[in-house]
Homo-oligomer: A and B are copies of this chain.
Amino acid sequence: MTDIIPVILCGGSGTRLWPRSRKAMPKPFLPLVGDDTLFTATLLRCTRDFGFADPVVVTGAAHLEHVESQLPDRDATKIIVEPEGRNTAAAIALAAFSVPEDSIILVCPSDHHIGDCDAFRTAAKEAAALAADGWLVSFGIEPTAPETGYGYLKQGEPISGSGGRKVARFVEKPDLARASEFLASGEYAWNGGIFAFRAGTFLEELERHRPQILEAVRQSVQAGRTEGQRFYPDAEAFARVKSESVDYAVMENTDRAAMMPATMAWSDIGNWQALHDAQECDEAGNSVRGNAELRDCSNVMVMSDGPRVSVVGASNLIIVVDGDEVLVCTPEGAQGVGKLSGAVNQ
């Protein structure tokens, strides 16, 4: 089998993790779980030591400095610098054009946390085998709660000789009642935005379903320029690309959609409560980063970049101190952090 090339997508910011995540230093580049940043951890999950090929990172000029300073192996990494964000279909197409068409690319968002890296790599290799057979493979993450913030994959018939299945249906973010049904049925998985594709197959399917995107990306690549490890697609051509997600542009339309089940303690760290859930806690469910003292507390998360945080008697609370901002929210309130003035007016 050919090498698996990790393609790391390093795009948008995460306002729901404000004030720690800010425009100038967004979520992927912060050490939110453990000592590594989410971006670095994503790269370290699939290195040569584990049998992967050198990675490709797709990012924007705004994040280039963070990307290059946090790369585990700068000389071995190709960096595609998008002139502007055009969503995932275009970003993946840029990566697919940059590698031999027989390569298997493993598309990974740079701002997720995966607790069980062995399970991730096992699923990645099984997904790659399916992709080599011409399937477009989504990771189908075993759901553990009726999340309304994720897309869901309904499992179809098994693909013989593999651990994968066809995708029967893609479902956009459901409401709580439907999400609960999905969870209870055992027939649905979360669509975590992790994919395995044969590069050539992906481009063929993109051409079939979104020829405009394929053509504009191709032109931006042809007119692009290389600078050391960096590749700059042509801005004028890229500006013509229609901004669409890979799910919407390709996965929901192709008849080659497959899913690879994965149980790997995954989290998109989509808000502060998700981060708390992903962290190691003490017996009382508390987790602390920085200078803090907790008395009679349970399920409290504290993160401080300086000031001491003293908490007495609190339960189910998130407290973040970052520079000149202090955030306090409940698990329910965590969803609303992105709407705060501080998060909006950065």
A337 to B296, CA, bound (A): 11
Contact A340 B312 (CB under 8 A): yes
Report the minimum CB–CB distance from A259 to chain B (whole Å): 35
A132 within 8 A of B: no
Chain A 287-331 residues near chain B, CB threshold 8 A: 293, 295-296, 304, 306-314, 317, 319, 321, 323-330
On chain B, the residues within 8 Å of A324 by CB distance are: 306-308
Contact B328 A319 (CB under 8 A): yes
On chain B, the residues within 8 Å of A319 by CB distance are: 326, 328
Report the minimum CB–CB distance from A67 to chain B (whole Å): 29
A62 within 8 A of B: no
Contact-size category for A: 20 to 34
Q: Which 9 A-B pairs have the closest CB atoms?
A: A313-B333, A312-B333, A313-B330, A312-B329, A309-B326, A311-B328, A312-B336, A310-B340, A307-B324
A19 to B312, CA, bound (A): 13
Contact A342 B295 (CB under 8 A): no
Report the minimum CB–CB distance from A22 to chain B (whole Å): 13
Given A312-B327, A312-B340, A319-B328, 19 more pairs with CB closer than 8 A:
A296-B333, A296-B336, A304-B326, A307-B323, A308-B326, A310-B326, A310-B327, A310-B342, A311-B333, A312-B328, A312-B329, A312-B330, A312-B336, A313-B329, A314-B317, A314-B330, A314-B333, A317-B317, A319-B326
Contact B308 A342 (CB under 8 A): yes
A334 within 8 A of B: yes
Contact B313 A336 (CB under 8 A): yes
On chain B, the residues within 8 Å of A334 by CB distance are: 312-313
Report the minimum CB–CB distance from A224 to chain B (whole Å): 42
A341 within 8 A of B: yes
On chain B, the residues within 8 Å of A341 by CB distance are: 293, 310
Contact B309 A332 (CB under 8 A): no
On chain B, the residues within 8 Å of A293 by CB distance are: 340-342
A327 to B311, CA, bound (A): 6
CB-defined A-B contacts under 8 Å, sample of 5: A307-B323, A310-B342, A312-B330, A313-B333, A317-B328
On chain B, the residues within 8 Å of A333 by CB distance are: 295-296, 311-314
A48 within 8 A of B: no
A341 to B198, CA, bound (A): 59
